[in-house]
A = this chain, B = another copy of it.
Amino acid sequence: MGEQTFSYNQLFNFTKTVFNKIGCNKKDSITASESLLSADLRGIDSHGVARLSGYVRLWEVKRVNASPEIKVIHETASTAVVDGDSGLGLVVAPFAMQIAIEKAKQAGTGWVSVQNSNHFGIAAHHAMMALQFDMIGMAMTNASPLVAPTFSVDRMLGTNPICVAVPAGEEPAFVADLATTTAANGKLEILQRKNQRAPVGWIQDKDGNSSTDPHELKKGGALLPLGGDKEHGSHKGYALGAVVDIFSGLLSGANYAPWVPPFPAYVPMPEEQPGKGIGHFFGAMRIDAFRPGKDFKKNMDHWIRGFRKAKPVAGEKKVLIPGDPEREMQENRMKEGIALIEPVIKDLEQLAAKFNVSFQ
């Protein structure tokens, strides 16, 4: 496939222009572009500019409000609920995370549940906002139902990711960002393009039988919770995805479970809507609300170095710390640029034509 490499700035300027064209103000266009492109930088290609046209289509069918009035609708010393006013999750999420951080400054920790939002890109971008304040950051979101719980034929949950970002001292931060499924949907898309089978434990067919066909989701199949099957702990992945749904959807008053609005604009909205939009959940914990930062960071460095020194299995160079591959990818892509595959480039060119702006 034809690939072409673009600089971060080039993609950033284009993305910013597109968000501006759909009606986002200057500040929101920048915020949304930073959120979106953090995925490309970190190597989560399925969640970056490849999705820009998807967000535009949601705006076209009036499911995204480009000039939302995002506001806090309830709060206590350490909590808040945010109404995203159908805004881009890419903008709503940083707003809500900032409130979690402000709460943590005052009360030690801050916890914000969000209703009436849309897809927020990658969780890590938002959770990592806490790092510069010497806080642990957390971000999670519910998402379109693609996942069958243990023993279920029906899709009841999204891939519902959890991110936890922890500051260290001299070592880089620990950043765990994980879908609560065996594999994220983006990995299936890669297999589809390469015409390869999926490993057992990733998906099931429309009748609930194990399958290795990466196209299964289009035929009524489902992704499987982390663990794959009951014998390998899929009830645990299911439970974790459920917790994300409860914190994001039910604590906020957003939709939840199979009633979460789908990302593709052509998929009709669920008839039943028990809440508003998509839900997210953010947390910030000030390190020094527990211990002096320097003591904690000394221990984090010790922890990280201990794991790096662990003996690797044959064929592997070393034990990785969560966030290592993404950080290395980001360093590389900021220098070398971001390679996009042909379908994504075409998609961006069509967007450029639609808004009469230049892409390349």
Contact = CB atoms under 8 A, between A and B. Distances in A.
A339 interface: no
A151 interface: yes
A307 B232 CA distance: 21
Contacts of A274: 299, 302
Interface residues of A, number: 87
Contacts of A113: 290
Contacts of A355: none
Contacts of A258: 306
Contact of A153 (B154, B290, B313): B313
B312 A151 contact: yes
Most buried by B among A113, A209, A251: A251
Given A77-B106, A78-B108, A243-B164, A310 B149 contact: yes
Contacts of A256: 299, 303
Interface stretch (A28-36, A63-71, A174-182, A211-219): A174-182
B156 A306 contact: yes
Contacts of A201: 232
A92 interface: no
Nearest to A317: B151
Nearest to A290: B251
Contacts of A302: 274
Interface string A210-248: 000000000000000011100111011111101101100
Interface string A184-210: 000000000000000101101001110
B156 A207 contact: no
Contacts of A228: 232
Interface stretch (A38-46, A318-326, A329-337, A345-353): A318-326
A319 to B, nearest CB: 5
A152 interface: yes
Most buried by B among A109, A249, A287: A109
Contacts of A237: 226
A300 B256 CA distance: 10
Given A78-B107, A150-B320, A256-B303, 12 more contacts: A76-B107, A77-B107, A136-B246, A151-B313, A166-B246, A178-B239, A180-B236, A208-B311, A226-B233, A242-B322, A246-B303, A257-B303
Interface of A: 74, 76-79, 81, 106-109, 111, 113, 136, 149-154, 156, 164, 166, 174, 176, 178-183, 199, 201-202, 204, 207-209, 226-228, 231-233, 235-240, 242-243, 245-246, 249-253, 256-258, 274-275, 285-287, 289-291, 295-296, 299-300, 302-303, 306-307, 310-314, 316, 318-320, 322
